[in-house]
Amino acid sequence: MHHLIPLPAFQDNYLWLLHDDRSAIVVDPGDASPVLACLQQQGLELAAILLTHHHADHTGGVAELRAATGAKVYSPAAETLPTTVGPVIELDEGDRIRLLGLEFELIAVPGHTAGHGAYYAADAAQGPLLFCGDTLFSAGCGRLFEGTPAQMLASLDRLAALPDTTRVCCAHEYTLSNLRFALAVEPGNADIARHLEQCQQLREQGRPTLPSPLALERRINPFLRSREPAVVAALAEREPQANDEVARFAALREWKNGFR
């Protein structure tokens, strides 16, 4: 039995902690203090730190956590980390590691950063787990800081092919603003409207909107739906020159960048 806890940090980050009542792993600890507090409160030892990409809000707490716990640190080999992180165990596409009795596979998902990785555990009892950093958000995706639209589209296609019941553990609580954009793209999509209402209630109660089931993301996330007729039609109206799937995906990302 594993417990999955999104630890809020900064403005809108979640540091995902998974534990089995004895050992824990944490994904993208941008800050050490909420992680240390949780470990202490629950009497857990930190077995490993998993990193998806190099940004400070995902790596800033690693040095302190490692010093306090001696946890091993894993990172995609393709990602260039800040020197403050220190030595890491590098994982290539398809590499598997065993933690808390689960097997985690590294999936290379370039786009937000050049070497961004995601961690996928197929055999978790309550449903597969996906820690996807800033690649896939609920109803959204990360900005393209280092990668191309073609890379991000391919990365999202890989994640979208995972099983329906996959629990998508995103690194930010961006769901409400993403859903407002999604509704602007697809005003006729009742799943988006319904989910926006549910998420508004959750946020009013101070509760996270995550993890999100992948089956739901396929129905509400415009960045997983850029080939759907309704999304293609909306993009054709806005950006008539975008006439292949990569150009349409790029136009969708651009539209979101300017959306308020």
Active site positions, annotated? 53, 55, 57-58, 112, 134, 172
| Cβ at position 53, least distance to Zn ion in Å | 6
Question: Residue 31 interacts with Zn ion (CB under 5 A)?
Answer: no
Neighbours of 156 (CB within 10 A): 23
Query: What string of DSSP letters covers the chain?
Result: --EEEEEEETTTEEEEEEE-SSEEEEE--S-SHHHHHHHHHHT-EEEEEE-S---HHHHTTHHHHHHHH--EEEEETTS---GGG---EEE-TT-EEEETTEEEEEEE--SSSTT-EEEEETT-TTS-EEE-TTTEETTEE---SSS-HHHHHHHHHHHHTS-TT-EEE-SB--HHHHHHHHHHH-TT-HHHHHHHHHHHHHHHTT----SEEHHHHHHH-GGG-TTSHHHHHHHHHH-TT--SHHHHHHHHHHHHHT--
Question: Residue 173 interacts with Fe ion (CB under 5 A)?
Answer: no
Q: CB under 5 A: which stretch of 19-27, 94-102, 131-139, 243-251 binds Fe ion?
A: 131-139
Question: Residue 134 interacts with Zn ion (CB under 5 A)?
Answer: yes
| Cβ at position 145, least distance to Fe ion in Å | 10
Type of residue at 22? R
Q: CB under 5 A: which stretch of 1-9, 78-86, 130-138, 211-219 binds Zn ion?
A: 130-138
| Cβ at position 143, least distance to Zn ion in Å | 8
Question: Residue 57 interacts with Fe ion (CB under 5 A)?
Answer: yes
**Residue in 31, 79, 134, 186 binding Fe ion, rule: CB under 5 A:** 134
- The residue whose two tokens read 């600890």 is 29
| Cβ at position 31, least distance to Fe ion in Å | 12
| Cβ at position 229, least distance to Zn ion in Å | 32
CA dihedral 122, 108, 74, 210 (to 10 degrees): -60
Q: CB under 5 A: which stretch of 49-57, 103-111, 209-217, 223-231 binds Fe ion?
A: 49-57
Considering only residues 141 to 160 of the shown chain, the ones binding Zn ion according to CB under 5 A are none
Q: CB under 5 A: which stretch of 50-58, 81-89, 124-132, 233-241 binds Zn ion?
A: 50-58
Question: Residue 79 interacts with Fe ion (CB under 5 A)?
Answer: no
Question: Residue 28 interacts with Fe ion (CB under 5 A)?
Answer: no
Closer of 124 and 132 to Fe ion (Cβ): 132
Question: Residue 31 interacts with Fe ion (CB under 5 A)?
Answer: no
Tokens of 212: 């999100």
Residue 248 binds which of Zn ion, Fe ion, none (CB < 5-8 A, kind-dependent): none
Question: Residue 55 interacts with Zn ion (CB under 5 A)?
Answer: yes
